[in-house]
Structure 1
Amino acid sequence: MQKDAYTLILDSIEAGVHKPGDRLVESELAERLGVSRTPVREALQRLETQGMLTRDGRSLIVASLDHNQLAELYVVRTELEGLAARLAARHASDEEIRVLRGMVEEDRGLLGGDPRVLSRANKRFHRLIHLASHNRFLVQQLDLVHRSMALMATTTFAAAGRDEVALAEHDQIVRAIEAHDGEAAYLALKSHISKAFETRLRVDAGELKTR
């Protein structure tokens, strides 16, 4: 299925092609995407409405999150992710649980590698937990939260040692889901997101080395 202009531009923001502060020019995007300017204009308007883009004079630029917005986003993400884990522990199919376990084992081979690859693997892991909750409304809200996460210029997986810690946390989350222990899954995922937030704050403050 061919992606529309909105999806293509959003994908490029999530992939870091367009970073916070970058200016998006309608004509340049239309040429690069091989479409007319009308769908690009409509896509940019939609992204602006969703808070992904902001105005700088007459130009549209990729938005960025200040400290308070970042904290607010993580508060919401922590609770929603925890709820998804709780529901996954109750409703995940055997197949979904096996795939989650397989992801943890496969991701061991990524340790110490490219932070962007680790970040994509992390998103894939969390996305399956969202789907395994079998609650479409929760999945929709988490999609919005993760869309806003794209406005962060760096990944916490660039912090030295974060990949090994995060994978151990993923293992703990899956163990709780395998045991169908909703409360343990909820607490494990909330702790995981809380530690990721601490890492991000320390990276932003320049306290942690990145690679």
Structure 2
Amino acid sequence: MAETKAGQRDAYQLILEAIDIGIYKPGDRLVESELADRFGVSRTPIREALQRLETQSMLTRDGRSLIVASLDHNQLAELYVVRTELEGLAARLAARHAAPEEIRVLRQMAHEDRALLNEPAALARANRRFHKQIHLASHNRYLVQQLDLVHRFMALMATTSLAVDGRGEHALDEHDHIVAAIEAGDGDAASEAVKAHISKAFETRLRLDAAREAAE
């Protein structure tokens, strides 16, 4: 029984991580046998993991097939509202509770990520890592759990707003402002800097979606 539970947990995490890093994108069909071969897991835990992901709305039905879900305009707007408030709170708490070592790590991330400006996919991964570090620096486990859930659904976006020309550099400038506010212990400024950062990301994504729809 313990092995079965471990297999279920591993299969679930493996599929979730594959969606998160873009191996499977919104609209992609997930097939039990192919997933079992890819991850070296038997089909039973794969099936149970797929059922769990469907229950969580990460997957949806297309006839008899399960596909990676996508977010419509309303879902996207709702997600960004929640993300903005939770990330703002995380930054505010980080300004209050972050250890000097955590602040140095944030500063280093913000500096080193500039080497990725011409690699949107790598920059998107680095961006998630940077935000995760802020979440951890809040030192509030319940907030971190909720933000993990929000960022799980962020993976259902087919493209990254950081691929838009010029957005990556502006985003990293915004990261610098966030770190400076956290380092100064200014919770209000840190919260507002994060909220402004996410607002710009949302605006960029809306323009991306509008341009894509116009081209179709």
* Residue of structure 2 equivalent to 1:126: 131
Deviation (angstroms), 1:124: 0.5
SS in 2 for 1:5: helix
Question: 1:21-78 deviations in whole A, cap 9, x for unaligned?
Answer: 1111111111221111111011101111111001112111100000000000000000
Q: In 1, Cα distance between the equivalents of 2:205 and 2:102?
A: 29
CA distance in 2, matches of 1:21, 1:106: 33
Matched letter for residue 65 of structure 1: L
* Deviation of the 1:14 alpha carbon: 0.9
- The one-letter code sitting in structure 2 at the alignment partner of 1:8 is L
Matched, 1:47 2:47: no
Q: Structure 2: which amino acid aligns with 1:179?
A: A
Which letter maps to 1:123?
A: R
1:66 aligns with 2:72: yes
Equivalent residue, structure 2, for 1:82 = 88
Secondary structure of the 2:211 match is: coil
State whether structure 2 residue 167 is matched by structure 1 residue 162.
Answer: yes
Q: Out of 122, 144, 153, which is 2:158 matched to?
A: 153
Q: Which moved more, 1:142-151 or 1:23-32?
A: 23-32
2:17 match: 11
How far did 1:206 drift?
1.1
Q: CA deviation at 1:134?
A: 0.2
Tell me how many residue pairs correspond in the alignment. Answer: 206
Letter in 2 for 1:128: Q
Counterpart position of 1:94: 100
How much does 1:163 deviate? 0.6
Match for 1:152: what amino acid?
M
Tell me what 1:181 maps to. 186
The answer for unaligned runs of 5 or more in structure 1 is none
- How high is the sequence identity, in percent, across the aligned residues? 77
The answer on 1:200 being equivalent to 2:213 is no
* CA distance in 1 between partners of 2:19 and 2:146 (Å): 19
TM-score, normalised by the number of residues in structure 1: 0.95
Q: Does 1:116 align with 2:121?
A: yes
| Cα deviation code 1:164-202 (max 9, x no counterpart) | 100000000000000000000000000000000000000
Q: CA deviation at 1:4?
A: 0.9
Q: CA deviation at 1:204?
A: 1.0
The normalised TM-score by structure 2 is 0.93
CA distance in 2, matches of 1:74, 1:90: 24
Residue 104 in structure 1 maps to residue 110 in structure 2: yes
Between stretches 137-146 and 48-57, larger displacement belongs to 48-57
- RMSD, aligned α-carbons: 1.4
- Name the counterpart of 1:28: 34
- Report the AA paired with residue 181 of structure 1: D
Confirm or deny that 1:190 pairs with 2:161: no
- Aligned-partner Cα distance in 2 for 1:83–1:93: 17
Q: Name the CA distance, whole Å, in 2 between partners of 1:61 and 1:110.
A: 31
d(CA) in 2 for partners of 1:145, 1:138: 11
1: CA distance, partners of 2:32 / 2:52: 13
